[in-house]
Amino acid sequence: MLFLESENKIIKGVLEGRIGEKAPRPVAPLEIRLCDFDDVQVCISIVDTLLTVSMAYPPYKTLEGLGAKQMFAATYPEFQLVAPKAGFDLSLQVNVDLITPSNAASFIGRISGLKRNILGAPFEQCFEALQNGNANTLGPVQIPYRRNETIYVLPQEDRIVIVYSVCFDDKTDQAIARVFLQEFVDTRRTVNNAPPVAFGKDPPLELRGAPNLRNSPDLVGYLSVVIFFTHVDTTEKRIKAATLVQSLRNYLHYHIKASKTYLHIRMRKRVDLLLQVLNRARPEKDQSKIQKKDHHGPNICSSLDCKDDRLLSLSQILSEAMIIKKQKDLPQSMTETTWNTLVIGEIVDYHPHPQADPLNVCIVNIGDEEKLLQIICGASNVRVGARIPVATVGTRLAIKEHVTGDLKKLKIKKSKLRGEISQGMICSEAELGLADESDGIFIFEADARVGSLVIEHHTIASRLIARGISVPSSYPTVAASLLQAKTEQ
């Protein structure tokens, strides 16, 4: 899972452009307003030589007496706390002349981490006391850090107990949050030295008698985290622990939204796939009946009755016959491959074969989005969006064996591989005659036209010719029944 950064990326990026090491001097004026987690609003301005950072943070008044003032003195010694701007809870000021290229990174880091430092002040104070062995001298702390949620910090002699009340208005968010929070409890059992975690609908015993406990429909439950001395026995551990516990609620919120996004993507992809399956399930028309009707039916008869169609010039018929004759006279190595049924397709989706791990079930578009093909492929470079050569059912391929040099003849048929139907073949360079051997399927450029013939692509013919293979010239598609009717006239 992703851990959110404690620094605000927007503030950091803006200040690096104004007061950073490579920023131009003198510093240019600035006025920016932005929002952060937990209903935080920030305003940063540079006027003359003063940089002012103002923040609106609802629990600031409470945090001010829980270590925030001491934190400002220790972490922001160059800054001055001034009267806050209208609509804000605090304002810090510093002279930009104090910011030089050598110390700019320190200023930018502290300003972009202001929210973390304010909310983390009570935790660092408690962790430092635990590290020094006097945590039992501190009293319990209640931080109303969100509109309807509270953090309870309960120092004890050898531990610090932190309790979060977690609320979500949306029912779906509540369900996902319960799964996440319960996972914290279960995962802790398998992680060494992790803080003990407990989650439940009812308040833990440590909160017995605490004021303002919520019991509303939006309450998901209470999450308790126990920090021991071993978790904060060094300065680095103490700072890291304070950073993590103050951002836990935002961490949870972020991953709930990310999970919902992932679920929506999966649902949409599944719906698209089911629609494609339904489109493929439409019964196809009987082509033999259609051709018979065309030959004997009124449509072709009426067109043949037209004078212009009946009196086709003899030269046109002869030229069509000559093209067909030339096609028949091509070398055997080329006529064994039927290029008029090799088309450019696009992989619109794929998933692993349920019965064979090395194989993938690919959904391929060859120009008709309502009649997608399902093709089984074992290549490792299969990906969605790839434009690939597709040998449709009925295609004949002449594949040269790499070792023996013999010509292997292959006819593509509709087949079933371990329960999954395959309606064609996705070809490699070797299967197209473009190379003696190849790994994976051949992938065209992204602008290759789906549905066009492979032989019409501008690179295929030249590569075949370079290998000494005869290339068929382009010819018009002439229906056999229509050509026969013309010659008879």
Last residue of a domain, one of 258, 286, 305: 258
CB 479 within 8 A of CB 305: no
Query: Does 70 lie in the same domain as 51?
Result: yes
CB-based burial of residue 133 (10 Å sphere; 0-12 exposed, 13-18 middle, 19+ buried)? Answer: exposed
100 and 163 in a single domain? The answer is no
Residues 244 and 336 in one domain: no
Q: Which position has the higher pLDDT, 470 or 99? A: 99
Residue 265 has pLDDT above 50, yes or no: yes
Is position 395 within any domain? Answer: yes
pLDDT given at position 98: 94
* Domain containing residue 208: 121-258
Same domain, 346 and 466: yes
Confidence of residue 358 (pLDDT cuts 50, 70, 90): confident
Answer yes or no: do 134 and 216 share one domain: yes
With a cut of 70, say whether residue 273 has pLDDT above it. yes
Token look-up 């449709």 returns 392
Asked whether the predicted pLDDT for residue 319 surpasses 50, the reply is yes
Asked whether residue 81 is assigned to any structural domain, the reply reads: yes
- Highest mean pLDDT (candidates 104-118, 133-147, 205-219, 422-436): 104-118
Which of the listed residues 258, 277, 297 is the one where a domain comes to its end? 258
**What tens digit of pLDDT does each residue of 217-236 get?**
889 999 999 999 999 999 99
Domain boundary among 228, 258, 288: 258
First to last CA, the chain: 76
Helix axes 298-305, 480-488, angle to 10 degrees: 40
Query: Do 133 and 65 share a structural domain?
Result: no
Asked if residue 28 and residue 70 are part of one domain, the reply reads yes
Are residues 180 and 231 part of one domain? yes
Q: Give residue-wise pLDDT tens across range 174-211.
A: 999 999 999 888 887 778 888 999 999 989 988 887 77
pTM here?
A: 0.56
In this predicted model, what pLDDT tens digit does every residue of 373-420 receive, in sequence order? Answer: 999 999 989 999 999 999 999 998 888 776 677 778 889 999 988 889
Nearest Cα to 252, choosing from 142, 127, 141, 164?
A: 164
**What is the band of 355 on the pLDDT scale with cuts at 50, 70, 90?**
confident
Residue 314 lies in a domain: no
Question: Would residue 281 count as lying in a domain?
Answer: no
CA-CA distance, 458 to 223, in Å (whole number)? Answer: 64
Residue range 410-437: average pLDDT?
A: 90
pLDDT for the residue numbered 219 = 92
455 domain residue, yes or no: yes
- Considering the domain architecture, whether residues 134 and 102 belong to the same structural domain is answered as no
CATH number of residue 226's parent domain: 3.30.1460.20
Q: What is the largest CA-CA distance in the chain?
A: 112
pLDDT for position 12: 94
Query: What CATH number does residue 459 fall under?
Result: 2.40.50.140
58 belongs to a structural domain: yes
> Do 147 and 24 fall within a single domain?
no
Residue-wise pLDDT for 57-113, tens only, equals 999 999 999 999 999 999 999 999 999 999 999 999 999 999 999 999 999 999 999
CA angle 120, 124, 128 (to 5 degrees): 180
Determine the pLDDT at residue 103: 94
Band of the pLDDT at 471, cuts 50, 70, 90? confident
Q: Is residue 370 situated within a structural domain?
A: yes
Residues 94 and 21 in one domain: yes
Considering the chain, what is the average pLDDT of its residues?
84
pLDDT of amino acid 486: 37
Q: Looking at the structure, do residues 94 and 131 belong to the same domain, yes or no?
A: no
The number of distinct structural domains making up the chain is 3
Q: Confirm whether 293 is domain-assigned.
A: no
Indicate if the pLDDT at residue 334 is higher than 50. no
